[in-house]
Amino acid sequence: MGGDDADNETAATAVAATVVALAIICVALRFYSRHMTGTGFKWDDWLSLLALVGTIASDVLVLVG
């Protein structure tokens, strides 16, 4: 049953990459829409960017570990 570990690692990598890609797209679209509408950036925008950095760091740790 040694193949199960490799399958789990591949699945974890795929999920981590998907989460990071979706998070980057969502935050980028948020900043783009704020810029295009001229509403300016508020504290919640910066917190979403901080959360994105945390998500990327978490996913890197999943991939490394």
pLDDT attached to residue 52: 95
Say if residues 19 and 55 touch (Cβ distance below 8 Å).
Answer: yes
Tell me how far apart the alpha carbons of residues 27 and 52 are, in angstroms, rounded to a whole number.
7
Listed in sequence order, the DSSP H helices in the chain are: 3-37, 43-64
pLDDT in tens, 16-65: 889 899 999 999 999 999 999 999 999 999 999 999 999 899 888 877 87
CA 38: distance to chain centroid? 25
Q: Which domain holds residue 34?
A: 3-64
* Vertex 56: Cα angle to 65 and 2 (nearest 5): 30
